[in-house]
Amino acid sequence: MCRAGSWRTNCILRSTAIAGQIKQELLKPAEYALCSLTPKNEELLFREKLSYRLSSNTEEGDFDFYVDQEALFLFEIMELSSKDNFLDMFGSPGYLAVLVSHMLKKLSFTTNGATPSSHQKLRSRITENAADAERIRVTGWEAVKFGVAEASTYSKVLLVAPSSDEKVTFTDEKLLKKWTDKVTRQNAKKQLLNLISALSATSPGGTVFYVTKSMSPFENDEVVEKALKKSRTEPVAIKISTKLGRATKYGIQILPHEAPFGPLYVTKLKIQE
């Protein structure tokens, strides 16, 4: 009983400390330079959120589509090429897919909407805004299916896992009252299954980018650490080349005051050849 009580007390204290740290980080003023991610030879427009404008001329007239800086950042760190076989496991709402389609005109890739509603939104976005939508495969699978049905298939996999978005939760009193460590721990269980699936779907020598919008260690480094131990693909964490954020044990954490987006946690995992 004593041990159980002591363990429970430690869990409560840790959960309280994590919540306090998250609140403290969210209150920090912005420090980032607005043009830190300016793409070469393209135009940035300043609106409520810094965004990237894709422009082209079509038979139906001029086309403009705005992609936020988070999608642009993920595109840059993945270093995609036309030779890649790319999978975005949670592709909705489709901003990244549209960006990839315009930046890499010869790349065919797969993007997934894991629920019926997200699948429908994703397909509509790509049909309306993507360049040459025929080369984009849109699936409506549960993320865990890829590791079984398409094992060792993709050279690069992006897993933006559903997570605790504390920037939303901790600034909404109603949502904050519902937040406990149980919520983030439950998310972590699902994230681990999805990450193991992503690793299994990746071919030898390929890479997986595990991303969350959480600041909770339960959903970030701790999920990665468990995946490194449980996955049969023998992945290793690789350093991400970026000036944004701060290093963690396995990846980087970008906080809202450090960039025009976030929180964002990213880990790059390479599959052994």
The pLDDT tens digits along the chain (273 residues) read 334 444 443 444 455 566 666 556 655 655 544 333 444 433 333 333 445 555 554 454 455 667 778 888 899 999 999 999 999 999 998 989 988 998 898 999 999 999 999 999 999 999 988 889 999 999 999 999 999 999 999 999 999 999 987 776 767 777 777 777 788 899 999 999 999 999 999 999 999 999 999 988 999 999 999 999 999 999 999 999 888 889 999 999 998 888 888 899 999 999 998
CB 244 within 8 A of CB 33: no
Q: Is the peptide bond before 116 cis (omega within 30 degrees of 0)?
A: no
> Do the domain assignments include residue 240?
yes
Residue 42 belongs to some domain of the structure? no
Q: Of all helices (H) and strands (E), which one includes residue 51? A: strand 51-58
Give me the number of domains the chain comprises: 1
Whether the pTM exceeds 0.75: the reply is yes
Residue 196 placed within a domain: yes
The reply to whether 76 falls in a domain is: yes
Total length of the chain: 273
Instruction: Say which CATH number the domain at 203 has.
Output: 3.40.50.150
Establish if 36 belongs to a structural domain.
Answer: no
Q: Is residue 162 situated within a structural domain?
A: yes
The verdict on residue 60 lying in a domain is no
Q: Which helix (H) or strand (E) holds 168?
A: helix 166-169
pLDDT at residue 9 in the model: 39
Contact 39, 52 (CB under 8 A): yes
CB 67 within 8 A of CB 98: yes
What CA dihedral angle connects 21, 34, 240 and 252, to 10 degrees?
Answer: 0
Could you tell me if residue 46 is inside a domain?
Answer: no
* Helix (H) and strand (E) counts in the chain: 9, 12
Q: Which domain holds residue 9?
A: 2-31+69-270
Which residues, in sequence order, are CB contacts of 61 under 8 Å at separation 6+? Answer: none
Q: What is the pLDDT of residue 51?
A: 52
